[in-house]
Structure 1
């Protein structure tokens, strides 16, 4: 817990508006991805085709879209950012692994790696000063 407090103090002291915009863009991207997975569930099933025989494969399919949808909203507003990113990490790692298990799509692989790196940064950095987390903390 002390580590998180130290990271929050450092992040709030070194907050920059472009980083907040990057966090909002990450949230919007994940939100749009969640909507696209909800709208085209067959595409999501095709992505998971190499892992269809695994135990819990259908649970994973039903986890991805809502996690992107809700997590994207939370990340964009800066509310429970670290928790929302922790929920995204298995999905992003799976997105990278799917390229090696199934058919390789270089664009999808690069996009998944970039989003994973940005998410890992915000997992450490937190939501920043221009977020609902910071606003609610200041209201106490």
Structure 2
């Protein structure tokens, strides 16, 4: 059993059902943010242009990646299918949001997004380790493995 399988096994055994409610809420929030970015793509591109060293084509490409990843990853988190993959595609986005966007703003202002971004990042890392939980959709080989154990 390699290290990844040990993490999966530990995550499957130590996952209370109330954490699935948090996973579903996180997925709903990420879907909402993705739809919000889809509605306000020009504002997202403007924010990324002001704070990143990339060219305009790469910024447009990143803005579309962020939008698509939030919507798809949020949906996958809601239904609990491919949870680790959904978290893995979200983590670079949150790291970029913390490093490029939120750190350059005034952190002490009343409605700073830095703390929200850090909380979301920590939740994504947690669900990357523990997986989808008992209320998630399981792959066929996961169902067989749980029956035999």
Indicate whether the TM-score tops 0.5: yes
Higher Rg: 2
Q: Which residue of 2 aligns with 1:36?
A: 36
Q: Which residue of 2 aligns with 1:92?
A: 94
**1:51 touches 1:57 (CA, 8 Å); kept in 2?**
no
How many aligned residue pairs are there? 139
2-structure distance, mates of 1:59, 1:36: 17
**2:32 touches 2:71 (CA, 8 Å); kept in 1?**
yes
Q: What secondary structure does 2:138 align onto?
A: helix
Deviation at 1:53, TM superposition (A): 5.0
Unaligned runs of 5+ in 2: none
Q: Which residue of 1 aligns with 2:2?
A: 2
Q: TM-score, normalised by structure 2?
A: 0.82
Deviates more, 1:7-16 or 1:25-34: 7-16
Q: Which residue of 2 aligns with 1:47?
A: 47
- RMSD, aligned CA: 2.1
Deviates more, 1:53-62 or 1:79-88: 53-62
1-structure distance, mates of 2:13, 2:139: 12
Higher helix share: 1
